[in-house]
Amino acid sequence: MFQEPFLLDGREVFVTASIGIATSTSGTEGASELVRDADAAMYVAKNKGKDRFESFQPNMHADAVERLEIQVSLQRAVEQQELILHYQPIVDLVTGGVVGVEALVRWNHPERGLVFPATFISLAEETGLIMVIGQWVLEEACRQARAWHLETRSDAPLKISVNLSDRQLQDVRFVDQVRVAMERADLHPASLILEITERVITKEDDVVMDNLRRLSALGVTLAIDDFGTGYSSLSSLQRFPIDIIKIDKSFVDRVANGDEASAVARAVTDLSHTWGLTTVAEGIETAEQMSALRDMGCNLGQGYYLGVPMRAEEILSVLCEGVLETKTAT
C-alpha cells in the first residue's frame, strides 16, 4: 500500500515504512518483551535500507545493545568534540583542476578509532542529534574554507560542499543559522554549496521550499545529492532553485559499459546543461569511468580515482598544487 502516493491537501506524498515483527513462541513473553523485540527488528529493517520488514531473531538483542552503546557514545562525542571533518576533492573533468571539496564527517572514537557516518548518521537522525552535528559541520566547514582561502591566496574562491539532513532543511531557523555561520567565518556565500536529498524535495514541504528560495537568495549554491536514487524527475527539479545535479555512484559504476546506466547519466547531463545546471559525478573509481563522463559532457567529478577524503592539513597541499594525481581505488 505504501508504494502508491497519498493525497494530502491536494498533493502527492510518498511514505515509506520500516516494520519490525515479533511473535511469541512459548506464550510466556509479556507485551513489553514483544514490543522490545519488535523494536529491535524494526531498527534492523531501517539499517537494511528502510521501506521493508524484518522478523525478530535472537541475535538482534546484541545488535540492540550495541546500538544503545553507540547512541550514548555519540552524545558524548558531540559534547567532547570527537567529531572531525575530512575533505574529498571535487575536480574539473576537463582540466583536472581542483575546484572544491566536500566536507565529510567522521567520528574519532577513543576505542573504535575512526568511525564512518554509515555507522552513526541514521541513529543521529532518529535521536535528533543530527541537528547539533549538522550545525557543527556547517560552521567548521565554513571556518576551514575561509582559512584555506587566506592561506592559498587564490583569486577564485574555493567551493566547499556540506551535506544537509532533511531535518535541518525542515527547520524554520535554518537559513538564519547558515547566514550566521558564513558571517562568523567571513565566508562569501558563493563559496558554500549545500547538498540536499531527493527525498526531502519530494515531500513538497512549504518550509523546505521557503528555505531553498531564501538560501538561493543569499547566494548559496544548492545541489541535489545522489540524483537518480529517489522518486524525483529532472523535470520536477525545475520548480526548485537547484544549481547542481550530483549523479549517483550507482550510475557512475556502469557508465563505461554503454548500458542503461550510461544512457541515464548522459540524459541527466544533457538536460542539466540545457537548463544551465552543473553536473557532478560521484564515486569515480577508474580512468574509464572518468573518460566516459568527460566525453558525455559531465562537468565535475569526485571519487577515489581522483582523490580520497583527507584531513584539512593534507588537503591544503592539494589546493596549493591545484591538480590531483589520479589513482585507482583499492
- Taking the mean position of all CA atoms in its chain, how far away is CA 82? 20
For the entire predicted model, the pTM comes to 0.80
Read off the pLDDT of residues 218-271 as tens digits, 9 standing for 90 and up. Answer: 999 999 998 876 656 677 788 889 999 999 999 999 998 878 889 989 999 999
Could you tell me which of 18, 4, 14, 1 has the C-alpha nearest to residue 205?
14
What is the spatial distance between Cα 33 and Cα 22, in angstroms, rounded to a whole number?
9
Highest mean pLDDT among 3-7, 63-67, 98-102, 152-156: 98-102
CB neighbour class for 6 (10 Å; exposed up to 12, middle 13-18, buried from 19): exposed
Comparison of pLDDT for 329 and 315, the residue scoring more? 315
- How many of the other CB atoms lie within 10 Å of CB of 163? 23
pLDDT greater than 90 at residue 51: no
The four Cα atoms 168, 13, 230, 55 give a dihedral, to 10 degrees, of 90
- 140: cell is 567548521
pLDDT greater than 80 at residue 210: yes
pLDDT greater than 90 at residue 293: yes
- Residue 328: which pLDDT band, with cuts at 50, 70 and 90? very low
Which domains, and CATH codes, for the chain?
A: 6-58 (no CATH), 82-321 (3.20.20.450)
| 192, 103 Cβ separation under 8 angstroms | no
User: pLDDT at position 39, please?
Assistant: 80
Return phi, psi of residue 19, to 5°: -120, 135
**% of the chain with per-residue pLDDT over 70:** 87
Comparison of pLDDT for 185 and 30, the residue scoring more? 185
